[in-house]
Every structure is written in C-alpha cells, then in structure tokens.
Structure 1
Amino acid sequence: MDTLDIKNAIKLNHFTVDMLKNILAKEYDQPIQKINYMVKNGDLIALKRGVYVFSEKYRTTSLNYISIANIIHQPSYVSFEYALSYHGLIPERVYTITSASLKKSIEYSTPLGNFSYQKIPAKVYSLGIGWKYNEIDGGYFISTPEKALCDKIYADKRAKNLRENEVIEYLEEDLRIDYEELLKLDSKLVWYIAMGYGSKVLLSVANSLKRIQNG
C-alpha cells in the first residue's frame, strides 16, 4: 500500500494516528512503523503527537486551518481574533489560529503555523458555535461573529472596567470593527452569551448594540 493508496482510503487532508492505523492494519502488522517511515520520507507532516497532514504533493485541496485547529486540541472551536477576521469584523489578517477550549490554555507551534487555545468557562462553551461539514475536512466548529466578539472582549484586559457609554468607541477604536458590521450583529445572542459568562461588560455590549440598531 503506497501513500497515494492510503490518501485515497482516508480521504481527509488531516487525521489522527488512530484513523491512520485502522487503514494500515489491513496490510501491516506494525502500522506505527509505516507511519514513522512516511513521516521520515516526507509523505506525512506531524503537527503534534498523533495528528498528521499529508505533504503538499498528495493534497488535492487546500488545507482547512479551522478544521485542523479543532483536531489538534480537543474539544475546541475557532474563535477570538481569527474568527473575527474570518467573519470580516476586523480588517487585520490573523496568522495565529485562535480557539476557545474547555481544557487548559496552550499554544502549539507546528510546521503549518501557530495554534493557540484559551480556556473558557464550561457554562458558556456551547453558546454561539457554528458547525460546518465537507467530505475533505469532516465536521468542524467555529464561533458565530457574536461569540467570537464576546470571547475576545471577555479575555481583553482593556475591557475589564468598560462602561456602557464607552462600548461603541472601544469596539470601533480598540478592536477596529466597522460600525456597519456592528449593526449586523445579533444583540439578543450577545445578551445570552453575556448571561452565560455572567459578565456585566458583555451585557453592556449587548445593550449598546441594541441601542444603535434601534436607532
């Protein structure tokens, strides 16, 4: 079984060692030796222990960094700056893939770039998460624009003592979110997330968004 056969069998661009071993076990008594050979030969790229992607010559589509972020550190969903940029709320291109997780905060430096994870409270974790799926990347999770914003503000030390009359200026000047984008956000969802966080600052954000949206 050569690398192309394995690629056709596994279908995904990225995968865990267990997924790979299940395929290799049909022909190899020691699948891990084959995996180590493929890494040494440059056919596979190890992102962390037990997580791999095929090298560029075996990829038929571009890598989905959101899906990869989900699998490197589980459970997690992409949020914070990367999701804000993805949803078009901030103008900057973000190079570190930022995620929220139920586990400890950690950062991974990989051949594909940096992946950072910040622990958030369990009671708010499931609020405002979107799920997407395709055959190449499988299922993956990314925050809604509202959840990405709430996660970012809750973690931002600059916002700890933010007053309600300062919210819009903070969103426009500090986070550099365009006013027109603020008008598109679901203030009710922000309110629910704020309640989950138990955050007065986020409640002020929800109230401020509702005020400008109602004119």
Structure 2
Amino acid sequence: METLTESIIAAGWAERILTEGQLARLLDGTAQRRYNLVNRALHRGELVRLRRGRYRLAASVSGKLAHPFVVAQALRSGSYVSFESALSFHGWIPEAVPMTLCVVPGRRREEFEVPQFQTFRFLPLALNPGFFLEAVERVQLDEQVALVARPLRALLDRLCLLKRDWPGLMELAWEMRIDPDLMASLRRDDLEALRPLYRHGRMRAAIEAMERELAS
C-alpha cells in the first residue's frame, strides 16, 4: 500500500503546503483511513503539521524547508508580511528578524510556534476598508506566492502598530539602521496613495510630515 508521503511526492506536491481538502482528493478511502495515514506520517516525522488542517512534507523528505513567508500565508490566509520582516526581506535593514511578522485583517491577534520553523506573529492594524493590500505585492517563493509589503508600507505599518508620532526621516533611518539613500528613494506619489489607508489621525499627520520632508 502506498504511503501518504509517497502519494504526495507522486502528485508533484512535495514542496506544497497542503490542506485537508487536497489530501482528501489525493487519497482514496474513508476519512478514517486518511486520518490514519496522516497520523502515521506525522509520527514518522515525514509530515509536519503547520496548524490544524495545514501540512507540509518535512524538509528531510522534500529536500527543502519551506520559506517562512509561504508558511505564514498558510497559517492565516488573507494576511501579508510586513514590519521588520518585510524590511529585512527587501534589504532595508541589516538584521535578520527572528520571527515572521504579518498584518492580518480583523481584530484578532495570533501567534504560532511551528516545528522546524520559527515564530509567526499576526497583528491587526486600524485600517480603512478597501485599502488593506495597498502597496503589498505578490512575491514568488518556492514555487508558491506570498504577499509582502513594500518598504514604505512596512515602515508605516510599524509606526501604526507602535502608535508613534512621526520621528523624522533621518531619525527613523538612524533608529532602524536604514541606509539614508534608501530613505531618499521614497516617492511622494507613493505616500499619496497611502494617505487614506490608516484610520488614526496620527498616521495621516505622519504621512503629511514625511511628504514635507521629501519635498524639501
């Protein structure tokens, strides 16, 4: 009898994150049989449970560890990577970030510790409806797609999360060890598109202050 691991590899899904529905389509038989096969693969260490209903073959079987940003999308659909995680990904801050930080719709804050991976933290922000994915791009990683904030959006999301007043471009660059040339590359047009994004007046004031600095 073919094992679950063999079935996943034969289907060409060795590097995919799989749902219960995909496993049901892949495997014949009853739900109990599927449950037994999944548990057997988990017990042997061939399969990793990312969260309830989300699985991936272990790196020792697939030959490759999934990118954390792809895992984040599987943990909370509709979220996107932001804050220091996105800034590090784009090369705007020199430090590696020991967890994956994401913005999630709604109000519920969550955190996951996933075996073989790191900590994943999902944080809600006070955003106006219709602008959630403004300045967020689809990035191809490990043959799958993750949503990642562009640097400007990640910077502003961080200010919003910390509920901080605008510190000034150079102060922010010094604080986060961002190359001043990268700060200088920010464009007023991009800021204008983000003006209606945040609900709080503090963020609107921050964007206006940033625009004035970029214009001077």
- Quickly name the TM-score band, shorter chain normalised: 0.7 to 0.9
What do the CA deviations read for 1:123-147 (whole angstroms, capped 9, x no partner)? 231211101336x442221111111
Q: Note the C-alpha offset of 1:174.
A: 2.7
Change (3 A) 1:76 1:96: same
Native 8 Å contact 1:89 1:177 kept in 2: yes
What do the CA deviations read for 1:18-55 (whole angstroms, capped 9, x no partner)? 22222113798721211111101111011211111211
1:30 counterpart SS class: helix
Aligned match for 1:47, one of 40, 47, 50:
50
**Consecutive unaligned residues in structure 2, runs of 5 or more:** none
Query: Aligned pair count?
Result: 209
Change (3 A) 1:170 1:17: farther
1:196 counterpart SS class: coil
Change (3 A) 1:67 1:96: same
State the distance in 2 between where 1:67 and 1:186 align: 29
Change (3 A) 1:62 1:207: same
2:119 counterpart SS class: strand
Question: Is residue 127 of structure 2 the alignment partner of residue 108 of structure 1?
Answer: no
State the distance in 1 between where 2:157 and 2:133 align: 12
Change (3 A) 1:68 1:49: same
Question: Is residue 123 of structure 2 the alignment partner of residue 118 of structure 1?
Answer: yes
State the distance in 2 between where 1:122 and 1:37 align: 46
Aligned residue type for 1:108: F
1:127 counterpart SS class: coil
Question: Is residue 98 of structure 2 the alignment partner of residue 95 of structure 1?
Answer: yes
**Consecutive unaligned residues in structure 1, runs of 5 or more:** none
Q: TM-score, normalised on structure 1?
A: 0.84
Question: Is residue 192 of structure 2 the alignment partner of residue 191 of structure 1?
Answer: yes
State the distance in 2 between where 1:62 and 1:203 align: 40
Change (3 A) 1:182 1:76: same
State the distance in 1 between where 2:178 and 2:200 align: 21
State the distance in 1 between where 2:188 and 2:215 align: 11
Native 8 Å contact 2:128 2:199 kept in 1: no
Q: Indicate the percent of aligned positions where both proteins have the same amino acid.
A: 21
1:102 counterpart SS class: coil
**Within 5 A, what are the aligned runs for 1:1-215?**
1-2=2-3, 3-9=5-11, 10-25=13-28, 30-103=33-106, 104-111=108-115, 112-120=117-125, 121=127, 123=129, 124-133=131-140, 136-157=142-163, 159=164, 161-162=165-166, 166-211=167-212, 213-214=214-215
Q: Note the C-alpha offset of 1:11.
A: 4.3
CA RMSD of aligned residues (A): 2.5
1:25 counterpart SS class: coil
